[in-house]
Amino acid sequence: ARDVVAKFSSVLGPMTKWLRVIVDASGGKLAEANLKAAQLEPPPDAAPMIYRILAARALAAAGDKRAKPYVRTMMKAAGKHPDVKKALADL
């Protein structure tokens, strides 16, 4: 996954950093994932939904302290989305 994210970073744009957080967290590198997540600002409400959902998953997977309020906000906006449910489960 790390190689795919690196290969297509120009296509993924700003989502690349959030995907790297998820890859690190799922690979067992929670400290690295948390450090990377802490350096990122969660997308605003005006951002595309998929970008906000990705950030919610990344924050929750990394164990970031901002995850709980951000995921709760996402539950209101897209609570039935499977990735939002996964982020909630990761809290």
- pTM of the prediction? 0.90
pLDDT digits (tens, 9 = 90+) for 67-79: 999 999 999 999 9
Q: What is the mean pLDDT of residues 41-69?
A: 95
Q: What is the mean pLDDT of residues 36-48?
A: 95
One-letter-per-residue 3-state SS of the chain: CHHHHHHCHHHHCCHHHHHHHHHHHHCCCHHHHHHHHHCCCCCCCCCCHHHHHHHHHHHHHHCCCCHHHHHHHHHHHHCCCHHHHHHHHHC
Percent of the chain with pLDDT over 90: 98
